[in-house]
Amino acid sequence: MTLNLYLLRHGETTFSQSGNFCGATDAELTKEGMQMAESFADVYKKLNWEAVYVSPMKRTIATAKPFCDAIGMDMQVREGLREGSYGEWETKSKSFVQENYTENYIKWLSEPAWNAPLGGETAVEIANRSMPVMTEIIDTHPEGNVLVVSHKATIRIMLCSLLGIDLGCYRHRVNILVASISMLKFDVNGPLLEILGDRYHIPDHIRSRPGT
């Protein structure tokens, strides 16, 4: 028996264009972000799916909706899949944070597993709430295709947790661009990373847009 676990990052928001910190901020998709979601649905609806698990945030719900409509399946919302909170850094630019939260920012850069943005979450805390969702999925769906729609940091942290990569290195070992899809295959040997950050489903004129 083999489970193929697909991890999709939500489509573009104004924050993914600007690069400002956006974790707990409930941002909407841009027009291009919606096109990314629709393009994903058009390509991936051809597979047979067992379930769709989604973060409760607006940008992930909006990304999952065209896909769920296309395959006729309800999304299962899980709080553990939401993006990590940046606390007092929310909506602020990196240059503003560097200047006004200098010591906090340096600590977060050096060891994000255990150092959080002021009032925000550490990578360990994000792993502690997201990994029970992974366990639920693996236990409930021993085979077939399952989609998870989540966020940049949360997906990176879940991938590191599943693959045995130090959480303190999540930003240096895994890159997850907007609307990219990654896939882990689970068999008797555990998780195998087969796809990382693929975006071939996005039309060329949208794929070339700058942003994270």
For the stretch 104-147, pLDDT in tens is: 999 999 999 999 999 999 999 999 999 999 999 999 999 999 99
d(CA 183, CA 198): 9
| Domain 3-207: top CATH class | alpha beta
Q: CA-CA distance, 169 to 25, in Å (whole number)?
A: 24
Phi, psi angle pair for 196, to nearest 5°: -135, 115
In angstroms, rounded to a whole number, what is the distance separating the alpha carbons of residues 88 and 138?
35
Question: From the CA atom positions of the chain, what is the Rg in Å?
Answer: 17
Q: What is the pTM of this model?
A: 0.96
* CB 199 within 8 Å of CB 179: yes
* pLDDT tens digits for range 163-197: 999 999 999 999 999 999 999 999 999 999 999 99
